[in-house]
Amino acid sequence: MNPSPLSFKSIPELFELQAGYPGLKAMFFDMDGTLFNTESYHADALLRMAAIYNIKSPYSIEVVHELMVGKADHLVFDILKDWEGVPRHWTVKDFVDQKNNYLIEILTQVDSRDYFPEKTFRLLEEAKQAGLYLALVTSSEKIITEELLKMAKLADLFDLILTRDDCLNHKPDPWPYLKALDVSGHDKRSTLIFEDSHVGLTAALSSGAHVIKVEWF
């Protein structure tokens, strides 16, 4: 396991990655906070949902944003379910469906360039043209993943898309990345993973692949 992944504060060029990781054949990307700067939109969607359902948060808006960063929806629901006004019959799926509806509503009102940098698109496009294998490995559900990729016009660039719905175990377990390695047929030594959160980095490092900690958002 690589105990200390390199941190990148700006989106790299492909030639930089190829120079730093000789023999690079595959790149795996997390989605929220890595590929897309959408963490704040998830929090905004939760707060919009809370307002509609008259759910009262015990935290400030800033703390709600901090609590949601890097967390899968089932972990967010564990925090939310004790808030005043949350319907007692709600399951994780009920919460996720409602929150994702508001997230899509919010994202359709903004330009995709607000959350998806053009430089990232160029990196993906150049990697694809260079013959690298590209995978998206996310803890988000399939429906919201597909919608985001469609909005950013990205779906055709990825050779593999693994969502929460496709995985037996979830980050911080390395299962999603080990599955991606297995499906891709690439060795961990020729694979580079991009992650931003503690949960995602734990999963990525445990896979044995090279890891970059994303700090460009």
Q: Is residue 210 part of a domain?
A: yes
Q: Quote the pLDDT of residue 2.
A: 52
How would you write the pLDDT of the chain (217 residues) with one tens digit per residue? 456 789 999 999 999 999 999 999 999 999 999 999 998 999 999 999 999 999 999 999 899 988 887 787 888 999 999 999 999 999 999 999 999 999 999 999 999 889 999 999 999 999 999 999 999 999 998 989 999 999 999 989 999 999 999 999 999 999 999 999 999 999 999 999 999 999 999 999 999 999 999 999 9
Based on the fold, state whether residues 50 and 72 are members of the same structural domain: yes
Q: Is residue 3 part of a domain?
A: no
Based on the fold, state whether residues 95 and 185 are members of the same structural domain: no
**Residue span of the structural domain in which 129 resides:** 8-38+116-214
Q: Would you give the distance in Å from CA 119 to the centre of its chain?
A: 17
Domain count for the chain, please give it.
2
CB neighbours of 88 closer than 8 A, spacing ≥ 6? none
Q: Model pTM?
A: 0.90
Based on the fold, state whether residues 156 and 65 are members of the same structural domain: no
Q: Is residue 127 part of a domain?
A: yes
Q: What is the CATH number of the domain that holds 92?
A: 1.10.150
User: What is the maximum span of the chain, computed from C-alpha positions, in angstroms?
Assistant: 54
Based on the fold, state whether residues 132 and 181 are members of the same structural domain: yes
Q: What is the CATH number of the domain that holds 183?
A: 3.40.50.1000
